[in-house]
Chains A and B, each alone.
Chain A
Amino acid sequence: MPRTAPVSDWGSDFDVLDPRYLADPFGIWDDLRATSPIAHTERRGSTWLPTRYEDVTAIAHDIDHFSSRKVAVIPMGSGEEGARQLEYGLPPISSDPPLHTWTRRLLLPWLFAAGPAPAGPGDDLLSELLGAEVDGAPLDDGIVLGMAALVLIAGVDTTWSAIGSSLWYLARHPEDQKRLVAEPELMATATEELLRAFAPVTMARVVTGDIDYGGCPMKQGDKVLMNFPAANRDPEVFDRPEAVLLDRAHNRHVAFGSGIHRCAGSNLARMELRVALEEWLSVVPSFALEEGREIVWAGGQVRGPRILPVVFP
């Protein structure tokens, strides 16, 4: 991870790789939401950071002005071997309509919990993609490769980050450990609440043409970070957003995004988080952070604890 200069003004010079931001972004978002709701930086190129629910979701829906052609929060080098091979990127996540529309439609049934069950060899997503035709022609190999790569990577660090952050929270709140063990029927609202409070994923958009958005003079090519994690803590939308309420009944969180790029694997991810917590608590019903040990947070695109030392009886 590159070393970066310290941040003195988060509104005009934020840095998502700043150690303070990696360890505890929540207070920074709260300050920005009140004082500079769409922050800006020139670090790694001109980039905007909305923190209000209304702005984040509005930008997510405005696909004409905010393209998904570049979704990396931290830009990769131009000579990247992987980027050369994936000429179409990772559709549908890194694409706009029309490419987005039909690639997403091919993927969704395979990721939906009630989707098709494989009937035998050859009855799988890759076989379907290799045999699929769009407008009478087979899919370009680059598109199949990009879609396969997306399915391969999209559910890895996202999922462990959500599970890890949830365990980090529970490790510091023994009363909520006890409550989940005693009242397993809370698991449905609890997983949504943990996803709200510790949403791991930030995607980027690229500004398609000069536009004044919310008083911000955005230029063509600028990047906007889709700060869904900060939107989930907006007091305009959530009562006591800083509190984790395992029985929060009204929870319109956007941990999985909003609009046409809504996470295609959202309901698979929900099931993984719930099962992971249930199984963890059945084996380790009581645990705590290990004193004196550092927690190492991954951040940028996906935030979660990479190293989380815990102790249990």
Chain B
Amino acid sequence: VRIRIDPGRCQGHARCFALAPEIFAVDDYGQASVIVDGVPAALEDRAELAIANCPEYAIERIDDEAVPAAI
């Protein structure tokens, strides 16, 4: 599964970083970013937790089919 942060929605609550530091990083302002290129299967539960705990609904799941073949 692939995920991304919508930077326009993220308000720096940093819940994703607290729940899954293997997947997310935050800067000095709390703005989150995804640091893995695709979530490893072993971390998918963690990614789901982060998605379900983001108060801004800022973490999006990207369907693999939607990713252009060139990427």
**Chain A residues proximal to chain B, CB less than 8 Å:** 57, 105, 108-109, 112, 114-116, 188, 192, 249-254, 256, 258-260, 262, 266-267
> Are B30 and A112 neighbours in the complex by a CB distance under 8 Å?
yes
Any A CB within 8 A of the CB of B33? no
Chain A residue nearest in CB terms to B45? A249
> Are B55 and A254 neighbours in the complex by a CB distance under 8 Å?
yes
> Are A267 and B53 neighbours in the complex by a CB distance under 8 Å?
no
Any A CB within 8 A of the CB of B52? yes
Q: How far is the CA of A192 from the CA of B55 in the complex (A)?
A: 12
Q: How far is the CA of A256 from the CA of B11 in the complex (A)?
A: 11
- Label chain B's interface by main secondary structure: loop
Q: How far is the CA of A102 from the CA of B23 in the complex (A)?
A: 29
Question: Chain A CB within 10 Å — which of B13, B49, B54 has the most?
Answer: B13
B55 contacts which of A105, A114, A253, A260 (Cβ < 8 Å)?
A253
Chain B residues, Cβ within 8 Å of A254: 55
Chain B, interface size category, equals 10 to 19
Chain B residues, Cβ within 8 Å of A267: 14, 18, 30
What sequence of 0s and 1s flags, for each residue 1-45 of chain B, a beta carbon within 8 Å of any chain A beta carbon?
000000000011110001000000010111000000000000000
Question: Chain A CB within 10 Å — which of B30, B56, B57 has the most?
Answer: B30
> Are A109 and B53 neighbours in the complex by a CB distance under 8 Å?
no
